[in-house]
Structure 1
C-alpha cells in the first residue's frame, strides 16, 4: 500500500458498524472539528476491528472498493469536507 493513499473513515452518523473495502485504513472518529486522533488500523488476517478511540466496529467487505464504505458517508475525503 506504499504507493497509495491510506483511506480514511469517519463515524459522525454514530452507527455501530461500518463495512469498508480495505483492511488497512485510518479512523478519524467524527468529522472535524470533532475528530479524534487519526489512528492507523490494520485488520491483518482478521476481517474486523474496533477503533480503540471511538469503538466503531469496522468490517472488511471485499465487494467494496478500497476507499468505499457502507454507509457511503463513512468514507472521508478531506477535499470534499
Structure 2
C-alpha cells in the first residue's frame, strides 16, 4: 500500500456504510471545504470501523483494491479534485 500512499475516503453522499478495500485509511468526512479533521482509521483484524467524527461506518471488502470504495464517489484523490 505504500506505493499509492494512504487512501482517503469521504462521505458527501451521506451513505450509512462505505465499503473499502483497505483496512488502514483516512476519513475526511465531506469533501473540502466541508471536511472534518482528516482522521487515520485502522481496522486491525476487524472488518468494520466507525469514524469518530462523522459516524460513517466503513466495511472492509477484500474484492476491492486498496484505493477503491463502494460507492465509487466516496474516494477522495486530494487537492486536484478540490480545484
- TM-score of Structure 1 vs Structure 2, range by shorter chain: over 0.9
Matched, 1:80 2:64: no
Aligned residue for 1:62? 62
Q: How far is 1:71 from its partner?
A: 0.1
Aligned residue for 1:32? 32
Say which SS state the counterpart of residue 28 (structure 2) adopts. Answer: strand
Q: Give the gaps of 5 or more residues in structure 1.
A: none
Q: Distance in 1 between matches of 2:28 and 2:70?
A: 16
**Total equivalences in the alignment:** 81
TM-score, normalised on structure 2?
0.92
Q: How far is 1:2 from its partner?
A: 4.6
Q: Distance in 2 between matches of 1:3 and 1:75?
A: 17
Once the two structures are superposed, what CA deviation does each residue of 1:10-44 show, in whole Å capped at 9, x if it has no partner? 00100000000000000000000000000000000
Q: Give the gaps of 5 or more residues in structure 2.
A: none
Matched, 1:14 2:18: no
- Distance change (3 Å), C-alpha of 1:2 and 1:68: closer
Runs of 4 or more, structure 1, over 6 Å off, are: none
